[in-house]
Amino acid sequence: MPFRFELLQTEKKARRGRFHTAHGVVETPVFMAVGTQATVKGLTPDQLDAAGVQMLLGNTYHLTLRPGDEVIAQLGGLHRFMGWRRPILTDSGGFQIYSLAANLKIDDHAAVFRSHLDGDLLELTPEKAIRIQENLGSDIAMCLDECPPFDTPAEYRAVAVNRTLLWAERCQAAHRAADQALFAIVQGGTDIALRTRCAEALAKLNFPGYALGGFSVGETPQQMAAALEPSADALPADKPRYLMGVGKPLDLLLAVARGIDMFDCVMPTRNGRNATAFTGTGQVKLRNACHKRDSGPLESDCPCPTCTQFSRAYLHHLFLAEEMLGPTLVSLHNLAFYNRLMADIRRAIEEQRFGQFYADRLARWGGEFL
């Protein structure tokens, strides 16, 4: 089934949409759980369903190193390999150009990594990034791009944008899978003119969707907020808009208000593994002694399995005893919290009350989630 996006409703710049993939429909705005190595750490597909997860993210670089994209293809593709029936998006390896820069050589032909596992060299060209993602069988593949750090000199940011545009053309030329949508990635840091130039050039190539990369790479929240709205405005209105690697609950709210449809971030599961839960009234640090005798749920109005079955006292005990169930239960709750937030946002846009919802959440959260 070819990819198809519908923009159903707007309220100012906030957008309510839906896209169709070979593995089902996704309602937007949507938060994708991060399953870098074919797993959302500590959680089963059934638990992800219980948390309301619509879509997962996997990673080209990590999965081609281990177990290998050809192995996954032989085993029926990434969906069958990890037992996940719903849509999957795969990142191209562009973020690893940023995060693994110490083990990297890059030019216009390719990014060459020295594997963090065994030191072997991995040459990742745009064409190879596409081949790997087609082997994985994801519903949405991403173009290979160069994601530079925030503090990169202006001259090199321009080089990275030019390389990103060159690679996008090569990815598009290499892509063959009819049931897989290929999204392009806009780079440019917080330089609005550079981002606009990148977005306009990519829009001429008519990709099915577009992402904003190069955020959450060292800039302050204020710098990201200032750059986000004009960056979103530069993207085609009739295609889904994906803000990569962001973020905190307040980040999601601010980004939806500026026209973003899709998000991913490790924050709910990483914080869950470190005994921090997200709730509607703020973060809860479950190692704190105040929870030792608290028989109440983590969040009273949350229907997730963690909140309906277990107390704060029990969760506190699990972390102090270093039992692996603690990270699982809090990760499960945090993903449920993020997905309830997105469902509430979708409903508010449908009912044309997102402006009030936005103001209420800002007043309730203050700086708690900044």
Residues serving a catalytic function are: 91, 264
Q: How far is CA 262 from CA 12, 232, 243, 245, 342, in A?
A: 17, 12, 6, 10, 10
Pair type for strands 209-212 and 282-285: unpaired
The tokens of 273 are what?
């593994």
CB distance 186 to 234 below 8 Å:
yes
CB distance 1 to 20 below 8 Å:
yes
Question: Could you give the strand order of the β-sheet that contains 14-21, starting from the edge strand earlier in sequence?
Answer: 4-11, 14-21, 24-28
168-174: long-range contacts, CB 8 A cutoff, minimum separation 24? 168/126, 168/143, 168/202, 168/205, 168/207, 169/205, 170/125, 170/126, 170/127, 171/92, 171/126, 171/127, 171/129, 171/130, 171/143, 171/144, 172/143, 172/205, 172/207, 174/126, 174/127, 174/130, 174/131
Nearest to 17 by CA among 116, 25, 323, 337: 25
What is the spatial distance between Cα 195 and Cα 161, in angstroms, rounded to a whole number?
8
Specify which residues 283 forms β-bridges with.
278
Nearest to 252 by CA among 151, 307, 144, 334: 334
The one-letter amino acid code at 22 reads: A
